[in-house]
Amino acid sequence: MSALFAPFTLRDLTIPNRIWMAPMCQYSAAPDGPGAGVPGDWHFAHYAARATGGTGLILTEATGVSAEGRISPYDLGIWNDTQVEAFRRITRFLVAQGTTPGIQLAHAGRKASTERPWKGGAPVGADGHGWQPVGPSALPFTERHQVPDELSVEQIQVVVRQFAEAAQRALAAGFEVAEIHGAHGYLINEFLSPHSNHRTDAYGGSWENRTRFALEVVDAVRAVWPDEKPLFFRISATDWLDPAGWTADDTVRFAGALHTHGVDLLDVSSGGNASAASIPTGPGYQVPFAARVKAETPLPVAAVGLITGVEQAEKIVANGEADAVLLGRELLRNPSWARQAAQELGGSVRVPDPYLRSV
């Protein structure tokens, strides 16, 4: 049997295959008003296409736990019931196709309030539907970014509650997997890394203090997320600033803590927290980080980053480097990648009846 097409069980949930869709922002929601953060026709068509293409698990784009937690004014959110109802339309369809629906819960921190990438991605103010970003310290991501307000301890606890409330809404919206976004230089990653966290209180300084906020979020989400449903955590395995930032050694150590606190799988990415970092990209360049976590901790892992080929993906799972692969841009290019991979490898995916003539 193809390793990619073996089912994968976490807690009481069985995901039909190991080909998963990585969260990718679409920047296509209304920026304000009653439709702010609400998934619309674009989002339905986007996720539906990958489900009918055989993808085993689909994780939504980074979904703001608050309006201020969005990366851009055009991102999705899950801070109100209007958003919940719109997400139900998507999750119902994904489940009907045999695909597991997952949501990535996120807070952008100091990298919030930016324009869409095809509009340049620059920070925006109130005249561009923007707002004042926040972070662990008053350190901007780049010179052109706004200086974030440093969160008080009381404000940190508000954000922790927002993650928990967002998880409750995600459950009501029909999601089977929740993923906490702790990567790519967004708020949780900012707290983890000494590059962006210069606090001197209980949330800064030592490794234990810098991981405190992340673990509080995990505990708050796990407390409201059902025991039978899995919880993921996405991490940047390194800032690519060794030894001045968050490192691969930190990630291995932290994976053990996440496992103890009820996380079921680590989604292993890298970078995003230091604009000047030099990142040696190439096919599967982040897979060794996932493989190390899998080898040195009890936590299952998913690998992501320039995974494009069918044989490449099959070897990653078959060789035990990761339990699953997360495809990003490749699924933007080819929504039916999983179905085509099944044909090449002799695997099996559910094909919708109207598409049976294509098999």
pLDDT at 21: 98
Q: What is the rounded CA–CA span in Å between residue 153 and residue 158?
A: 9
pLDDT at 282: 96
pLDDT at 359: 81
DSSP strands (E only) in 147-252? 149-150, 177-182, 231-236
Q: Do 269 and 260 touch, CB atoms closer than 8 A?
A: no
Ramachandran quadrant class, 321 (left: phi over 0; alpha: psi -120 to 50; beta: rest): alpha
pLDDT at 330: 97
* Sequence letter at residue 314: E
Q: What is the rounded CA–CA span in Å between residue 213 and residue 310?
A: 38
Q: Which stretches in the chain have pLDDT values below 70?
A: none
pLDDT at 1: 84
CA–CA distances in Å: residue 286 to residues 145, 274, 324, 334:
27, 17, 13, 22
pLDDT digits (tens, 9 = 90+) for 254-279: 999 999 999 999 999 999 999 989 99
Ramachandran quadrant class, 197 (left: phi over 0; alpha: psi -120 to 50; beta: rest): beta
- Collapsing DSSP to helix, strand or coil, 130 comes out as coil
Q: Do 107 and 162 touch, CB atoms closer than 8 A?
A: yes
Helix or strand (DSSP H, E) at 14 = strand 13-15
Q: What is the rounded CA–CA span in Å between residue 213 and residue 262?
A: 15
User: CB atoms < 10 A from the CB of 206, how many?
Assistant: 10
Q: Do 337 and 19 touch, CB atoms closer than 8 A?
A: yes
In terms of C-beta distances under 8 Å and separation of at least 24 residues, what long-range contacts does 327-332 make, across chains too?
Answer: 327/19, 327/20, 327/21, 327/22, 328/21, 328/22, 328/24, 328/304, 329/24, 331/21, 331/22, 331/50, 331/53, 331/55, 332/24
pLDDT at 358: 84
Q: Pick from 63, 59, 51: which is nearest to 267 by CA?
A: 59
Q: What is the rounded CA–CA span in Å between residue 333 and residue 324?
A: 20
Q: Which CATH superfamily is domain 3-358 in?
A: Aldolase class I (3.20.20.70)
| Domain regions of the chain by residue span | 3-358
- Collapsing DSSP to helix, strand or coil, 133 comes out as coil
- Collapsing DSSP to helix, strand or coil, 168 comes out as helix
Enter the pTM of the model.
0.97
Question: Which residues are known catalytic residues?
Answer: 186
pLDDT at 243: 86
